[in-house]
Structure 1
Amino acid sequence: MLTLEEIFPPFALRITSGSLDLRVLRDEDFPELVELVRAGIQPPDSPMPFLDAWHEAPFAPGAPDGFPATSLAWWWAQRATFSPDEWRLALTVRHEGELVGVQDIHAKDFPLRRSIETGSWLGRAHQGKGIGTLMRQLVVGFALDELDAAACESGYVVGNRASDAVSRKTGYVENGRRVLVQQTRDGKASVEEQRVVVTPQTYRRPAAPVSVAGADALRRFFGIERGPASAIN
């Protein structure tokens, strides 16, 4: 009988460094993830980091239009819309076995563009400990080394000092600004987003060794072909 990882290769992906472990989100992670979100994500002195205030939605277990059902629908939809032309990965981030946050990867037309978009969040109790920087370094290294990405893009709301620091420590450089519209609890609001990009030339690797499992099957699943130089390394 086939394993779930053989049927759906993203589930076999594992990126580790020291006490930090990144894996694709599974259904059994949801109860712990819900509690992490309920404990808080956004510091009181920081701008709202998301396009939609999903983390502030009313807690309504068993209701179709409240948290966590609306968020679960989004994570489930990521699995249902996989294709080589566009895919998303929601990676759980565990520190010493405890779920502390989520690291997202999104790519569109990756075989042609060789660029991915990253985003991430940590529970408030786990912020300010260097975890945010390491999880970003791990996923950028995975994209550059295992997927042969030429660039990783991201962005943060101007004034979000924590995201700014994580980006700089990972090797991102500023790449222009744009105005976005956020859906807040009080309605729509415009904010300025700082765009950033990291390339193999600017990337700052973590100090500790990194281990990646499941990359070969994932590349086949995404239809990613490696160049001759990458195949040798």
Structure 2
Amino acid sequence: MLTMEEIFPPFGLLITSGSVEMRVMRDEDIPELVELIHDGIQAPDLPMPFLTDWHAQSFTPGSPDGFPTTSLAWWWSQRAMFAPEDWRMALTVRRDGVLVGMQDVHATNFAQTRHVETGSWLGLRHQGQGTGTVMRQLAVGLAFDELTAQSCGSGYIVGNLASAAVSRKTGYVDNGRNRIVQRTADGKVGIEEQRVLVTPHTYLRPVGPVTIRGADALRRFLAIED
């Protein structure tokens, strides 16, 4: 019988460095992930970091509305729409075996652009311990070393000093500002986003060895050619 890794090769991806481990999210991660989010993500002294305040929705398990149902629909849709022309990997981040956050890597028309976008978050009680920097460095390393990306973009809300620090420690440089819209419980809000970009020339690697398994099968699945 085929394994899930053979059927859906992203499940075979494993990235490790020291005590940090990243894999593509599976359904069995969801209960732990829901608890992590319910315990809090947003630091009270920093601006809301997302385009929508999904993390602050009412906690109503088993209901068709609110969290986690709306987030489940988003997580599952990423697998349903996975294709070489448009893909998104939601990577669980564990430190010492404990789920601490999520790291996204996504791209559109990657064969032509060789560009990916990254985004990430950590549970509130796991912030400020250096994990955010390591997980971002590992995601960028995957893009450059295994997926042949030539640039990685990201962005953060102006005033989010923690996200700015992670970007700086990974080698991102400022790449202009956008006026974007956040959707909150109080309606739409216009806010400044700082765009950042990292290339192989500016990339700062994590301290210590990195191990990546499953990259060959992932490249084939994404139709990535050298």
Provide TM-score, normalisation by structure 2.
0.99
Shift of 1:157: 0.3
Amino acid at match of 2:5: E
Q: Distance in 2 between matches of 1:23 and 1:4?
A: 13
Match of 1:78 in 2: 78
Q: CA offsets per residue over residues 143-200 of structure 1, 9 Å max, x none?
A: 0000010000000000000000000000000000000000012111001000000000
Structure 2's unaligned 5+ residue stretches are none
Match of 1:139 in 2: 139
Q: Distance in 2 between matches of 1:55 and 1:73?
A: 14
The question of 1:191 aligning with 2:187 is answered no
Match of 1:54 in 2: 54
Q: Distance in 1 between matches of 2:124 and 2:89?
A: 22
Q: Distance in 1 between matches of 2:70 and 2:178?
A: 28
Q: Distance in 1 between matches of 2:9 and 2:28?
A: 17
Instruction: Please identify runs of 4+ aligned residues in structure 1 that moved more than 2 A.
Output: none
Q: Distance in 2 between matches of 1:89 and 1:159?
A: 27
Match of 1:96 in 2: 96
The question of 1:220 aligning with 2:204 is answered no
Shift of 1:43: 0.6
Match of 2:153 in 1: 153
Q: Distance in 2 between matches of 1:92 and 1:151?
A: 22
Q: CA offsets per residue over residues 64-117 of structure 1, 9 Å max, x none?
A: 111101101100000000111000000000000000000001100000000000
State the SS of the aligned residue for 1:155: strand
Match of 1:124 in 2: 124
Match of 1:229 in 2: none
Match of 2:11 in 1: 11
Q: Distance in 2 between matches of 1:126 and 1:164?
A: 17
Structure 1's unaligned 5+ residue stretches are 227-233
Percentage identity across aligned positions?
67
Q: Distance in 1 between matches of 2:78 and 2:199?
A: 26
State the SS of the aligned residue for 2:206: coil
Q: Distance in 1 between matches of 2:210 and 2:185?
A: 40
Q: Distance in 1 between matches of 2:150 and 2:208?
A: 23
Match of 1:231 in 2: none
Q: Distance in 1 between matches of 2:83 and 2:47?
A: 34
Q: Distance in 2 between matches of 1:55 and 1:21?
A: 23
Match of 1:200 in 2: 200
State the SS of the aligned residue for 2:137: helix
Q: Distance in 2 between matches of 1:207 and 1:67?
A: 37
Q: Distance in 2 between matches of 1:60 and 1:183?
A: 20
Q: Distance in 2 between matches of 1:50 and 1:35?
A: 19
Match of 1:23 in 2: 23
Amino acid at match of 1:169: K
The question of 1:168 aligning with 2:158 is answered no
